[in-house]
């Protein structure tokens, strides 16, 4: 584990921790865990900065209820000498704020290693694990440090949400550290995180998803159109995948000037990351895991939205050899 390497970091440089854009619970919790490790093992203070938006109700509740110290990325951050640690992501993938002319010092992630990934000092990348929070929890345990209740709750919820209650892409280590954290969890806080109030806008978008979704045998495709926050396509993909008879869900949504894509699969042996990259091709970037993946097509004008939705749907159906299947309504 990388824990011992933290003490060798330059004490005279500030530390910047960067999760991926629009950070999810795993990115948020693991970044907070690294910040805690830096303080306890190396005496270093750090800043966690993200780009994008935190829109999903559970994610907003996670940050608010546990008082997690996050800041938005600004141009000033790149103007100083600092140690940069990327967490739950890798540089130059289209889903991180780091400029192309800056190389991070450290990369900690559980996504497959990218050919473009560079780092100055070292990387801990274990694509076999179900979450980056598992890596961080293991390091805290290895360092024999106490785990604050709030941090334990964040890491526990991150592993839980990333692996869908240990039902998706989990390993023995994910299971072990999930149980290790259990006795430290603040269950009142966890309840508030898992059961937040939901806006009227959220229910309007669920209605839109149900109306616009189309079935192609075991595949459901949902073009949401304009969405109120970038995580919504992933949220709807998680929702639709459990419709009876469905094994693949694909959701598209445009937030501001970018299109966000989310793919979910219950088909063991599939490669959702490869599938979404094939679909997006040179229009944007994508990545993920065996059963879940996401992508982004930047700078998509509103007038091109419907055409791109049709292109992506056609390419998805070709991937699953369903090009000649007629569409049906969801119900």
Instruction: Provide the CATH topology of domain 202-329.
Output: Diaminopimelate Epimerase; Chain A, domain 1 (3.10.310)
- Read off the pLDDT of each residue in 282-287 and give the average, rounded to a whole number: 93
pLDDT confidence of residue 267: 84
86-97 tens-digit pLDDT: 999 999 988 899
Determine contact, residues 167/81, Cβ cutoff 8 Å.
no
Portions of the chain given CATH number 3.10.310.40: 202-329
211-256 tens-digit pLDDT: 999 999 999 999 999 999 999 999 999 999 999 999 999 999 999 9
pLDDT at 269 over 90: no
Q: How confident is the model at residue 49 (pLDDT cuts 50, 70, 90)?
A: very high
pLDDT at 1 over 70: no
pLDDT at 63 over 70: yes
Q: How confident is the model at residue 203 (pLDDT cuts 50, 70, 90)?
A: very high
d(CA 129, CA 110): 6
Determine contact, residues 65/189, Cβ cutoff 8 Å.
yes
pLDDT at 73 over 70: yes
140-191 tens-digit pLDDT: 999 999 999 999 999 999 999 999 888 877 889 999 999 999 999 999 999 9
Q: How far apart are the first and last CA of the chain?
A: 49
Determine contact, residues 50/119, Cβ cutoff 8 Å.
no
204-217 tens-digit pLDDT: 999 999 999 999 99
Q: For the chain, what is the mean pLDDT?
A: 94
pLDDT at 2 over 90: no
Q: Which residue has the tokens 């829109």?
A: 55
Q: Which CATH superfamily is domain 3-194 in?
A: inorganic pyrophosphatase (n-terminal core) (3.90.1640.10)
The alpha carbon of residue 199 and the mean position of all alpha carbons in its chain are separated, in whole angstroms, by: 22
Portions of the chain given CATH number 3.90.1640.10: 3-194
pLDDT confidence of residue 164: 85
d(CA 12, CA 9): 9
Q: Give bridge partners of residue 288 from the DSSP assignment.
A: 293
The percentage of residues in the chain with a pLDDT greater than 70, rounded to a whole number, is 100
- Read off the pLDDT of each residue in 277-287 and give the average, rounded to a whole number: 94
- Encoded tokens for 176: 């072990």
259: helix, strand or coil: strand
């Amino acid at each position: 584990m990388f824990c011992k390497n933290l003490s060798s970091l330059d004490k005279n440089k500030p530390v910047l921790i960067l999760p991926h854009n629009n950070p999810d619970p795993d990115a948020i919790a693991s970044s907070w865990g690294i910040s805690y490790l830096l303080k306890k093992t190396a005496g270093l203070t750090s800043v966690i900065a993200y780009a994008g938006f935190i829109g999903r109700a559970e994610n907003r509740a996670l940050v608010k209820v546990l008082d997690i110290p996050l800041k938005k990325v600004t141009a000033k951050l790149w103007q100083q000498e600092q140690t940069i640690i990327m967490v739950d992501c890798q540089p130059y993938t289209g889903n991180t704020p780091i400029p192309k002319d800056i190389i991070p010092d450290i990369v900690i992630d559980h996504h497959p290693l990218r050919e473009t990934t560079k780092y100055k000092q070292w990387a801990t990348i274990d694509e076999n694990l179900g979450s980056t929070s598992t890596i961080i929890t293991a390091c805290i345990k290895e360092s024999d440090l106490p785990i604050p209740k709030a941090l334990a709750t964040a890491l526990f919820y991150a592993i839980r949400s990333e692996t869908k209650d240990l039902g998706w892409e989990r390993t023995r280590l994910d299971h072990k550290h999930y149980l290790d954290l259990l006795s430290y969890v603040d269950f009142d806080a966890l309840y508030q995180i898992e059961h937040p109030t939901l806006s009227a806008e959220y229910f309007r978008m669920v209605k839109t998803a149900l109306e616009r979704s189309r079935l192609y045998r075991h595949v459901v495709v949902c073009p949401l159109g304009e969405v109120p926050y970038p995580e919504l396509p992933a949220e709807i993909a998680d929702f639709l995948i459990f419709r009876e008879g469905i094994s693949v869900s694909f959701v598209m949504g445009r937030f501001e000037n970018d299109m966000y894509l989310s793919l979910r699969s219950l088909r063991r042996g599939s490669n959702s990351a490869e599938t979404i990259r094939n679909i997006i091709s040179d229009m944007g970037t994508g990545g993920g895991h065996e059963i879940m993946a996401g992508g982004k097509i930047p700078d998509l004008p509103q007038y091109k939205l419907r055409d791109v939705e049709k292109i992506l749907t056609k390419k998805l159906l070709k991937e699953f050899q369903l090009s000649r299947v007629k569409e049906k309504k969801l119900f």
